[in-house]
Structure formats: structure tokens, C-alpha cells
Amino acid sequence: MSTQKKPLPLIRKVAGGLFAAVALCAPSNGAWGQTEDKVRIDGSTTVGPITKAFAEYYMRQHPDVNITVSESGSGNGAKSLVNGTCDAAAMSRFMKPQEFSAAVDKGVMPVAHVVAIDGIAIVVHPSNPMANLTVSQVRDIYAGKITNWSQVGGPDKKIVAISRDSNSGTFECFNNLVMQKEKIAGSTEYVGSNGAARQRVQSTPGAVGYVGLGFLDRTVKALSVDNVHPDPDSVTSGRYPVARPLYLFTDGYPELGSHLHAFVTLHLSRKGQEIIESLGFVPVTHYK
């Protein structure tokens, strides 16, 4: 389970106090006080793995730089950027109009950097003869309108629909791109992680589930959606329908040569692509 919990306000206050005490004790000529060597990232839990891995990699290359990554959700990331409490906001969706206007009112000019693309594969048990579903069929399955594989041209078997918990970015993405206004039926099962979703599908003959593209392997069968097979090419070209870009927002384009600039362009490097691929997302670059 990967629930990223924000501590209770009281605990935060106490922890903040401790932190301040430690900071006061630290030598003042150290890296602590220098704001230019500090990069603060806040925002989406979906983008979190990428920003965390980037931060780890970047800090290893530049030991004098301090990068903090908080994961409080896309909405809070946008809020932090507007309030100036973070340098880059990680978001799994584009900024909403009201967030944009609030930012502009405060003199913050949001600039979007697409760091990776999140593609969601619809998976079934390997023994399932189905090869393709349309987006509306997937929607009807999860809405409980289609309950048997025979209704979509498959064998006479009850469909066990498996969803990620409403906690996850993958759920949010699936909900927006596939379900749209429709509600997921009560009989749908919920699991806590991409790995658990795959595990349930590989052990349940009638199951259908969805996982991030990086979690596909031989134990489950990915279906084509609207006759497009999910793979990095179809996702980056926009042909595969269940995919979305993941953003980092900065206030204006970061000053060239700054650590922030290096951080928000890390995904364009070969190493950045490797990191993104290893986390199961689709990179925007094509280094071989």
C-alpha cells in the first residue's frame, strides 16, 4: 500500500518546531541557508515517483543542492506554486482556469513541462480470448451495464471488474478518460496498487482490470482499446485513448543554467528517459 499521508497539523507544528531548532543549530555558512541551492517540488502523487527519482539522481550528481519533494496532490501543488511555497508543481492534470487566473493575479505565470506520459492498459486474464474493447464498452463494464463477457463477444463468463482505489492517480486518470460522467458500479472490486491489480487479474479468469503501462508483463493480457494496442509508440503519438501527459509547472520558464532549469529538463536527457521507463511511465524522448 502506498498511501502518502500528510501528518496531522499538531504533529506538523511539533515537527516544524524541531526542524527549526535543528536548522538554528546548523552552521550558518552551510548549504542550509542558501536559497539558490534549494529546489522545492510539491504536487501529484502520480508524478511523485518521477520527481523523487529525479531528485535522488540530481542530488547525487550535485551534493550541494537540496531538493525537497512533497506529495500533496495536484490541486495542492498548484496552490503551492501560486503561493510561492514551491518552485515546481507536479500535476497529473492541466491547471484549471481558476487556478490559472489565481496565479496570474498573484503575478505567477505558470509554464507547463510535460515530463512523461501516463498510459493505462486494460488487462484481462491470459486465457480470455478477447482482444479488443471500445472505450464505451469498458465504461459500460465498469458502470455495471455489461456483466458478462458474452455481451461483448467473449465466452459466457461473469465479468469481475477490478479498479484501483480512488486514492490513486491511475484511478483518477481512468475515471476521467474512460468513465467520464458515469459512476463506477458498486460491485467493482478495489485494490491498493498496480501490482495488486495485476495479481488479481492474473489469478481470476473472469477479471478485467487496468494498470499503468509499465506494469504490463506476460502474466496478464493487455487489450487493444478502440483497436489501438497500448505501447509506447501509440501512447506518445496520441492514438491510444487512455493516456494523459504528466506535468511540472514552474513560474515562468526557469532561468537557464539554474538548478530548477536542470531539474525540469532532466526528463529530456537519456538518463531521465531511463528513470521514467524504469518507473513504468512512457517517456517523451526516444533515445535508443
Partner 1 sequence: MADTRFIIQRNSLIISARANRLRRLAALGGRGILLLITSSSALVILFIFYFIIKDALPFFQLRGLKEFFTSTAWYPSSSPASFGATSIFVGSGLVTLGAILVSVPLGVTAAVCLSDMLPFSLRQLVKPVIEMLAAIPSVAFGFFALVVFAPQLQERGGTILSVAWWMITAPVAFLMLWIVSSVLSSRLPERIRSMGRLGLAAALAAPTFWGIWFVGRSFHALEISSGANALNVSIILGIMALPTIVSVSEDALQSVGGELREGAYALGATRTETMLRIVIPAAKSGICAAIILGIMRAIGETMVVWMASGNAAQIPRPWFNVLEPVRTLTATIAGETGEADHVTGSARYHVLFAMALCLLVISYAFNYVSDRIVRRTSRIGRA
* Contacts of 258 by beta carbon, 8 Å cutoff, 6+ apart: 36
Q: Does 120 bind partner 1 (CB under 8 A)?
A: no
- Residue 154 or 192: the one with the smaller Cβ distance to partner 1 is 192
How far is the C-alpha of 218 from the C-alpha of 76, rounded, in Å?
Answer: 37
The Cα-based distances of 214 to 137, 166, 211, 231, 283 in angstroms read 23, 20, 8, 10, 11
For position 199 contacting partner 1 by CB under 8 A, the verdict is yes
* Residue (89 or 282) nearer to partner 1, CB: 89
> Is residue 206 involved in binding partner 1 (CB under 8 A)?
yes
**Amino acid occupying residue 251:** D
Task: Considering the complex, state which of residue 164 and residue 259 has its C-beta at the smaller distance from partner 1.
Answer: 164
Does 83 bind partner 1 (CB under 8 A)? Our answer is no
Give the one residue of 132, 134, 167, 285 binding partner 1; rule: CB under 8 A.
167
Identify the residue among 165, 226, 274, 277 touching partner 1 (CB under 8 A).
165
10 Å CB burial of residue 177 (0-12, 13-18, 19+) is middle
Does residue number 196 form part of the binding site for partner 1 (CB under 8 A)? yes
Among 13, 96, 145, 183, binds partner 1 (CB under 8 A): 183
Q: Does 6 engage in binding with partner 1 (CB under 8 A)?
A: yes
Rank residues 90 and 207 by Cβ distance to partner 1 and give the closer one: 207
Q: Taking CB under 8 A as the rule, which mask of x and - marks residues 225-264 in contact with partner 1?
A: ----------------------------------------
Query: For partner 1, what does the binding mask look like between residues 207 and 226, x meaning CB under 8 A?
Result: x-------------------
Number of chain residues interacting with partner 1 (CB under 8 A): 40
Query: d(Cα 134, Cα 140) in Å, to the nearest integer?
Result: 10
For residues 69 and 33, give the distance between their C-alpha atoms in angstroms, rounded to a whole number.
18
Q: Is residue 191 involved in binding partner 1 (CB under 8 A)?
A: yes
Residue 99 backbone zone (phi > 0: left; psi -120 to 50: alpha; other: beta):
alpha
**Parallel/antiparallel/unpaired status of strands 189-191 and 160-164:** parallel
Residue with cell 463494464: 141
205 binds partner 1 (CB under 8 A): yes
Under the criterion CB under 8 A, does residue 188 sit at the interface with partner 1? Answer: yes
203 part of the interface to partner 1, by CB under 8 A = yes
Q: Which of 58, 171, 263, 281 binds partner 1 (CB under 8 A)?
A: 171
Does position 1 interact with partner 1 (CB under 8 A)? The reply is yes
In the complex, least distance from residue 179 CB atom to partner 1, rounded to whole angstroms: 9
* Interface contacts to partner 1, rule CB under 8 A: 1-6, 8, 45, 72-73, 75-76, 157-158, 160, 165-168, 171-172, 175, 183-192, 196, 199-200, 203-207
